Amino acid sequence: MDKISTKDLQEKLFYKPCNVYDHMNSTDEAAMETMSQSYIRFLAEAKTEREAVAYAVRRAKENGFSEYQFGQPVKAGDKLYFNNRGKSIYLFRVGSEPIEEGLRITAAHVDSPRVDLKQNPLYEDGNMGFFKTHYYGGIKKYQWTTVPLALHGVVIKKDGTSVDIKIGEEAGDPIFYINDLLPHLAADQMRKTMAEGIGGESLNILIGSKPYEDREATDRIKLNLLSLLYDKYGIAEADFMSAELCAVPAFPPREIGFDRSLIGGYGHDDRVCAFPALEALFDTDDSAHTCMVILADKEEIGSDGNTGMKTWCFVDIINELADALGGNANTVRMHSKCLSADVNAAFDPNFKDVYEPKNASFVNHGVVLTKYTGSRGKSGTNDASAEYVAFVRQLFDKAGVVYQTAELGKVDIGGGGTVAKYIAEKNIEVVDLGVAVVSMHAPYEVIAKADLYMTYKGMCAFNQ
């Protein structure tokens, strides 16, 4: 028997994550660059779930998709989308194989942490006008003060007419702002924990200061602001009751670093998975599988509500597809496979203590396969089967996809969850997969272009 060298033996037996750049040729690098530039445009355009769904609808139409209604006949080759209330969307292309072979589903979410307006938000105090807010999702509240904010959302008036609002994104637009205390007077504040330094009721958004011209009037700043809003949008104070308005960071996504290998932007979690999911669906037209992309809402607040991943709408669509194509819906679900496409926490050398480096995701190490999420003894996780993880590994190896395995931080440090468990409970195979993010849930997060590109390649391999 030939004796294998130690080096070869190590090569053969050790698991060694590799850097995407060591595995890309110039064609790959060019494709990565093109994709990154369109991703940056998408990030700039879609900062809320509604804007992401509008983007998906537009891109779907450009790619030959049309709107689906429950009960409509469906046949192989059809490209359809179901727009759920403008806040989540299911896009699917019907494959040539029998529907009972199951679907290939990629599910990402398009809501991101932010600061929502309360339903009666407007007031004045200390010669300034403000909006009261209630933050949305897991944020470190102090990060949202003293940064430029844009206002996005929709107001539905009593008569049902709707007004879209988006202020703070164009060069000439005003922006909005949350105050913080000057260090000179912050001795008490600085002694508090970072969680307590800025309270939820202090996240009030500064929106103006000019009084209404009539000197006899009361609440003149508030009146002036309402009068401006009425002139521009035809809305009165009570209309905030039926509005969904939120403050998001006003800065545009940008490349980071001398080598431009990273992208900074608001809402990488989880648009950095939503974007390649869409692109992969559009680019795998010839697959025999029936492929579906889900862009879900409300993941950041627990996936509840009729646009979150817990909604029956998902099962309803599969039932409808099974009916229309002559399959048993239970069999369709049992044979379906899903990538729960969500981000993982990239190892950050500035905060080494919270990561266990053998099981952490690293920037530029490719798409992250996360077998389980959860916390404190894997509580609240899907924990994908070994069989299914092996299936995905095989697909990726065959397609030259660079991937890594990770969990979210050290055991007992914290944890997190994704939509995976809500899909798994419907009797569907599912594993978490996505991009490593630096400074997750901050107003400005960071990802690597190489990881975005490998996530796209992984999703293409899955659809094929």
Q: Is the CB of 127 or the CB of 379 nearer to Mn ion?
A: 379
Using alpha carbons, select from 229, 47, 248, 266 the residue that is nearest to residue 155: 229
| Cα–Cα distance for residue pair 464/462, rounded to 1 Å | 5
Q: Is the CB of 43 or the CB of 229 nearer to Mn ion?
A: 43
Give, in order, the Cα–Cα distances in Å from 26 to each of 23, 37, 280, 398, 401: 10, 17, 20, 20, 16
| Cα–Cα distance for residue pair 319/301, rounded to 1 Å | 27
Q: Is the CB of 343 or the CB of 428 nearer to Mn ion?
A: 343
The nearest distance, CB 308 to Mn ion, in angstroms, is 13
Give, in order, the Cα–Cα distances in Å from 97 to each of 44, 250, 322: 38, 46, 13
Looking only at residues 231 through 260 of this chain, which bind Mn ion when binding is defined by CB under 5 A?
none
Using alpha carbons, select from 48, 58, 20, 15 the residue that is nearest to residue 36: 20
Q: Which stretch binds Mn ion (CB under 5 A): 277-285, 309-317, 341-349, 454-462?
A: 341-349
Q: Which stretch binds Mn ion (CB under 5 A): 35-43, 89-97, 245-253, 342-350?
A: 342-350
The nearest distance, CB 295 to Mn ion, in angstroms, is 12
The nearest distance, CB 216 to Mn ion, in angstroms, is 50
Q: Which H or E run includes 29?
A: helix 26-45
Q: Which stretch binds Mn ion (CB under 5 A): 3-11, 16-24, 266-274, 323-331?
A: 266-274
The nearest distance, CB 342 to Mn ion, in angstroms, is 4
Q: Could you tell me how many residues of this chain bind Mn ion (CB under 5 A)?
A: 3
| Cα–Cα distance for residue pair 85/44, rounded to 1 Å | 22
Given a contact cutoff of 8 angstroms between Cβ atoms, the answer to whether 232 and 415 are in contact is no
Q: Is the CB of 51 or the CB of 269 nearer to Mn ion?
A: 269
Given a contact cutoff of 8 angstroms between Cβ atoms, the answer to whether 312 and 305 are in contact is no
Q: Is the CB of 88 or the CB of 224 nearer to Mn ion?
A: 88
| Cα–Cα distance for residue pair 289/280, rounded to 1 Å | 13
The nearest distance, CB 351 to Mn ion, in angstroms, is 17
Q: Taking CB under 5 A as the rule, does residue 49 contact Mn ion?
A: no
* Helix spans in 264-307 (H): 268-283
The nearest distance, CB 247 to Mn ion, in angstroms, is 18
The nearest distance, CB 25 to Mn ion, in angstroms, is 31
Q: Taking CB under 5 A as the rule, does residue 432 contact Mn ion?
A: no
Q: One-letter amino acid identity for 168?
A: G
Q: Which stretch binds Mn ion (CB under 5 A): 59-67, 263-271, 276-284, 358-366?
A: 263-271
Q: Taking CB under 5 A as the rule, does residue 297 contact Mn ion?
A: no
Q: Taking CB under 5 A as the rule, does residue 111 contact Mn ion?
A: no
Q: Taking CB under 5 A as the rule, does residue 445 contact Mn ion?
A: no
Q: What does the per-residue mask of binding to Mn ion show for 268-287, with x meaning CB under 5 A?
A: -xx-----------------
| Cα–Cα distance for residue pair 424/314, rounded to 1 Å | 12
The nearest distance, CB 22 to Mn ion, in angstroms, is 28
The nearest distance, CB 269 to Mn ion, in angstroms, is 4
Residue with tokens 């590994």: 393
Residue with tokens 């969307």: 89
| Cα–Cα distance for residue pair 162/341, rounded to 1 Å | 32
Terminal CA-CA length for the chain: 41
Measured at CB, which residue is nearest to Mn ion?
270
Q: Which of 49, 124, 342, 429 binds Mn ion (CB under 5 A)?
A: 342
Name the residues that contact Mn ion, by CB under 5 A.
269-270, 342
